Chain A
Amino acid sequence: MSRRLLDTSVLIAHWRKCAGDAPAAPRPDDARRWAKELIKTYGTDVVATPVVVEFLAGVRKRDELMLARAYLENLRTIDGGNVSAEDWAAARRYAERVPQDGKPRQLGDCLIRAIADRLGYDAYSLDKRFQK
């Protein structure tokens, strides 16, 4: 796998596409298959803890939660849940970079960048705000 970390926006875009193409009531096995497709498409299975949390936080129904958990099973949380003081300090530095358009930075984005950078990964996002 390439040293590429997937941001939440990539998971959400892929999830929506799969869910849109899916039969009426997808099952956890379908979600696991979607995750394998995601990994094949983007050439990486790497995410970070804030990505997992953001993804789960977007779930709207209980049965969707089962699918979301199954989807995440095959993804590798590269920080292993260990978000360090160093990560928070780096996240703060990203937050303090005020862009020319003045738009606010997102906590998750700053932390994902910090974790990716510490572990020698580059972060792939489909969110325009992710790149300032």
Chain B
Amino acid sequence: MKKLTFYHQVRADGGKRTGIESDDETLLHHFAPGGKDHDPALLWYVDFRCEGERLPDTPDGARDWFVRNEGYFVSQLREVASDDLSVGFDAELMPLERHLADAPDGARVNVVVSAARRLPARDIAPRLRELADHWGELLSELCTLSPV
């Protein structure tokens, strides 16, 4: 069973990191730096964790898969924002995790959202909507990681 994860995480300094991983290997990545007062402390993150036999495992294949299924992921982000996050959740107990039905290509998809204590979880809802609004743009910015 292949695993494919899309993640997007936002830092206290405003930096935003987005990536796609396949079976724990980073396929694509983009980091948009925040303010000049560097601070890697995370405010919140969201993961789409996908499992399935027919998932791509190459950088271009993975990007294409998330682009092709934009409608599905965008609508799921909006749904989580309006249903699950409208009342907030206690990130200290556990991240919010939801199984998403009717995923493309027979995949099993879970969405996971978490927030650091400083950010009230209900404040994540508008940020998820913003992510949904810029889904395609974010995917187009992703690059392969250059070797260190």
A, B co-complexed: yes
Instruction: Identify the A interface with B (CB < 8 A).
Output: 1-5, 13, 17, 41-43, 94, 97, 113, 116-117, 120-128, 130-132
B14 to chain A, nearest CB (A): 12
B91 and A126 form a contact (CB under 8 A): yes
Residue B89 is within 8 A (CB to CB) of chain A in the complex? no
A1 and B21 form a contact (CB under 8 A): yes
Instruction: Identify the B interface with A (CB < 8 A).
Output: 5, 7, 9, 11-12, 15, 17, 19, 21, 24, 26, 29, 31, 37-43, 45, 47, 49, 91-95, 97, 112, 114, 116-118
A122 to chain B, nearest CB (A): 5
Contact residues in A for B5 (Cβ distance below 8 Å): 2, 43
In the A-B complex, list the 8 residue pairs whose CB atoms are closest, starting with the nearest. Answer: A2-B7, A116-B40, A131-B41, A117-B40, A124-B42, A131-B12, A122-B42, A131-B118
CA distance A11 to B118 in the complex (A): 18
CA distance A39 to B81 in the complex (A): 25
B41 and A43 form a contact (CB under 8 A): no
- The answer to whether residues A113 and B7 also contact, given A3-B19, A3-B26 and a CB cut-off of 8 A, is no
Contact residues in B for A128 (Cβ distance below 8 Å): 117-118
A121 and B45 form a contact (CB under 8 A): no
A125 and B116 form a contact (CB under 8 A): yes
CA distance A4 to B112 in the complex (A): 14
